[in-house]
Amino acid sequence: MGWASGPLGAVQAADREMARQLAVRARAVAAFAASRPASADRAPGAPGAMSAERWAARSEVLQPVSEWATPELAVALNLTGRRRRRCWSSR
């Protein structure tokens, strides 16, 4: 596929830039998640800790990440309700 010129070329250039920025964002989210280890969370069974059932339902990729990283990121990105669940589904 070649690159167009004129307005269509501008659309293609914008699309490439959006993809590049999405990759930057994904790397930043991964770095944020890595900076919030689950080892800093309260021990299972301690008051305020995630329940064993909820912990077991988390996807494997999120298990090393603090239970509080998801809500913190959701607030920072202004994600609420259904939109947040779509971005961070544990299933």
pLDDT tens-digit series, residues 52-79 = 888 889 889 988 999 999 999 999 999 8
For the chain, what's the residue count?
A: 91
DSSP letter, residue 4: P
For 17-81, give the DSSP string.
HHHHHHHHHHHHHHHHHHTSBGGGSPPTTSTTSPPHHHHHHS-GGGTTB-TTHHHHHHHHTT--H
Closest to 71 measured CA to CA, from 13, 45, 32:
32
User: Does the global pTM surpass 0.85?
Assistant: no
**Residue of 88 and 41 predicted with greater confidence:** 41
